[in-house]
Structure 1
Amino acid sequence: MLNCQRDLFTLTRETAYLDAAYMSPIPIAAIAAGEAGVKVKAEPWKMTIASYYDEVEQARQLAASMVGAHEDDIAIVAATSYGMAVAAANVPVPAGSAIVLMENEHTSHRYVWYDLADRNGAHVDIVPQPADGDWTGAIVSAIRNSARPIAVVAGTLVHWFEGMAIDLEAVAVAARAAGAALVVDGTQWVGAVPFDVTRVRPDFLVFATYKFLLGPYRLAFLYADPRWHGEGRTLEHHSWNRLGGDKSDFYKVPVAKFLPGARRFDMGERSDFAVLPIAIAAMKLIQGWSVERVFERLRYLNDFIWAQATSRGLEVARPRLPTPHISILDIGDRLAPNAAVDLKQANVHVTLRGAKMRVSPHVYNDEEDIDRLFQNLSLR
């Protein structure tokens, strides 16, 4: 199993940071890469046209490796919401059709579909949280039994708030059988959970870098199935996603053709000299460890979380189908009102929402961090 990688981060022993699902720290190597990137802009006369392309393609290749894709399938975008806007601009949603969403889906994967449904005279059909915890069965049943034609299934591998796993392959099969597009949010698991787009074959998959990819804020990657490469609509028009943008006379071509593959969806100013190097350095580390070994360690740490809860008499039921890399403990009325303040004062960091505590370790965590969490958790 992969060992704790704390030494590769600035985390001190006194800090128990267990909140990667909120925002992960970047590794020391990524800090250095970002500092070097900032300095590029300090001396723009040293830049060449390669400065606008080389790191872009390196980042594209690394992002593709995280999900089993080809580099031509990946676009560089600003955020999950940006990628979802690209998807919404492309998938057909006729009047009277339905867009299927899980209850309490993340806003970046929810608001855009309400907007599209309103504009097209379509409907958003919500799949309520199933009492038995089987989101997969509930979503598949909603697709198969819909009274309306299904246009889009907005899917994911893990419910971001409930910590329950979804069999995305089964959802994909049902979506295809219904003739629906499958659009997936991978922000809460890409980099932490092995995934192969060739098995699921979503139309679009978007994943930001600032969580389990250990990367910067304001950067995401968009996977687009090859069917969208030839005629997909982009949100922005600029020279960097067009052929010949690297030529000195790029402006002489009235409307240049798009670059091949998903590059047509690249955002403007994609060659962010400060942000991209951070993502590249972080993804290089993950690639070196392998997503499989990262997943193995995170599964071990999350099993340890539940074991500690049980051994300390904190009787919380583990979800029937939990996601292996995030633990959400519903503590109920046993959680003291001052619990969040007490944890922060003890330099222990998790997410508390109501009676639910979300614990999301990463490779920089170990058993001592989890011990400190339960030692400082205020209960009634």
Structure 2
Amino acid sequence: MLESQRHLFSIPDDVTYLDVAYMSPIPNCAVEAGIRGVKVKAAPWDMTIHSYYDEVERARTLAASFIGAAPDDVAIVPATSYGIALAAQNVSVARGSVILMMENEHTSHRYAWLELAKQKGARVVTVQRLPHESWADKLIAAIRGSEAPVSVVAGTIVHWFEGTHVDIEAVADATREAGASLVMDGTQWVGAVPFDVTRVRPDFLTFATYKFLLGPYRLAFLYANKNWQQNGRPLEFHSWNRAGGDRPDFYLETMLDYLPGARRFDMGERSDFAVLPIAINAMELLQRWGAEAVYARLLQLNRCIWQEAEKLGFSGPHESQRAGHISVVELGERYRDDLARRLRENKAFVTIRGSKMRITPHVYNDEADIAKLFEIIETLTR
């Protein structure tokens, strides 16, 4: 099994960091790459046209590899919310139809659909579930039982707030049967969970790099299926996503054709000389470890989390519903209003929302980190 890779990060010995689903640290090699990237802009006289393309295509290729896609299927965008907004601009939503999403869906995967429903005269239906019910079953029931036509299903493989698994392949099948579009947010799992987009076949899938991909903030990617690659409308209009946009005389002629594949959706100023090298180095590191090895490591660490949590009498989702890479522990009566602050004072970092504590390790963690976290929690919640 993959061992702890803490030596590749600048995490102080006295810090217990188990909050990658909030923000990952950047590997040391990626920090160095970012510094070199910043210096590119310090000497613009050394730049060539390749400065605008080479790293863009390397980043695109790496991002595609984490979801089983081809480089042509992936666009470079600034954020998950941008990718969702782009999807919302393209999918067909008829007046009187419904857009389905899970209760407490992440805001980046929520607000665009509320806005679109308002514009189109459609309605957002929030799907709820009881603790013993699965999200996939409830979403499928809502799709098949809807009195109004279903236009869009907002999907993912894990509920970000609950840490519960979603059988997205089953949801995707039901979505296609209904003639609806499936739009997915992968920010809370791409880089942690092996995934094959060709099995699920969503219309769009977008994911940021600053969590499980160990990358920079303000960079994301967007998968678009073949139909949208040919017919989709970008949010921005510029020469970098146009065929011939790299020509020295690009300003003399209007080029109506887009670059092939999902590149039509690329954001403006996509060639961020400081941000892209960080993402590239972090993704190359993950690629060398291998998706299966990383996931196996996270499974082991999350099993350890639940062993420690249950020793202290904490609860959470039923074992059959838990995501393999995220643990959301219910503190119940042992929750304290000042717990998050006191954990930080003890240099232990997790996310606490209400009485739920989300614990998310990555490859820089080991079992000792988890034991130390729960020792601190036991002391603070007595």
SS in 2 for 1:259: coil
* Aligned match of 2:314: 315
SS in 1 for 2:158: coil
The percentage of aligned residue pairs carrying the same residue is 60
Query: What do the CA deviations read for 1:35-73 (whole angstroms, capped 9, x no partner)?
Result: 000000000000000000000000000000000000000
SS in 1 for 2:192: coil
* Aligned match of 2:282: 282
Partners of 1:94 and 1:194 in 2: how far apart?
Answer: 34
* Aligned match of 1:128: 128
**TM-score by structure 1 length?**
0.98
The equivalences for 1:252-267 within 5 A come to 252-267=252-267
Query: What do the CA deviations read for 1:185-205 (whole angstroms, capped 9, x no partner)?
Result: 000000000100000000000
* Aligned match of 1:80: 80
Instruction: Indicate yes or no: 2:293 matched with 1:293.
Output: yes
User: Which amino acid in 1 is paired with 2:259?
Assistant: L
Instruction: Indicate yes or no: 2:120 matched with 1:100.
Output: no
* Aligned match of 1:182: 182
SS in 2 for 1:193: coil
- Post-superposition shift, 1:256? 3.3
SS in 1 for 2:3: coil
Partners of 2:239 and 2:87 in 1: how far apart?
Answer: 21
Partners of 2:308 and 2:317 in 1: how far apart?
Answer: 12
The equivalences for 1:1-380 within 5 A come to 1-311=1-311, 313-319=312-318, 320-377=320-377, 378-380=380-382
Partners of 1:78 and 1:360 in 2: how far apart?
Answer: 24
SS in 2 for 1:132: coil
Partners of 1:16 and 1:261 in 2: how far apart?
Answer: 43
Kept in 1, the 8 Å contact 2:63–2:221? The answer is yes
Query: What do the CA deviations read for 1:110-143 (whole angstroms, capped 9, x no partner)?
Result: 0000000000000101101333141110001000
- Post-superposition shift, 1:339? 1.7
Kept in 2, the 8 Å contact 1:306–1:318? The answer is no
Kept in 2, the 8 Å contact 1:244–1:256? The answer is no
- Post-superposition shift, 1:338? 2.6
Aligned length, in residue pairs: 379
Partners of 1:87 and 1:304 in 2: how far apart?
Answer: 38
Partners of 2:360 and 2:153 in 1: how far apart?
Answer: 27
Partners of 1:151 and 1:285 in 2: how far apart?
Answer: 39
Partners of 1:54 and 1:161 in 2: how far apart?
Answer: 37
SS in 2 for 1:233: coil
**TM-score by structure 2 length?**
0.98
What is the alpha-carbon root mean square deviation over aligned residues?
A: 0.9
Kept in 1, the 8 Å contact 2:245–2:255? The answer is no
Kept in 1, the 8 Å contact 2:243–2:255? The answer is no
Kept in 2, the 8 Å contact 1:130–1:138? The answer is no
Kept in 1, the 8 Å contact 2:94–2:120? The answer is yes
SS in 1 for 2:41: helix
Unmatched 5+ stretches in structure 1: none
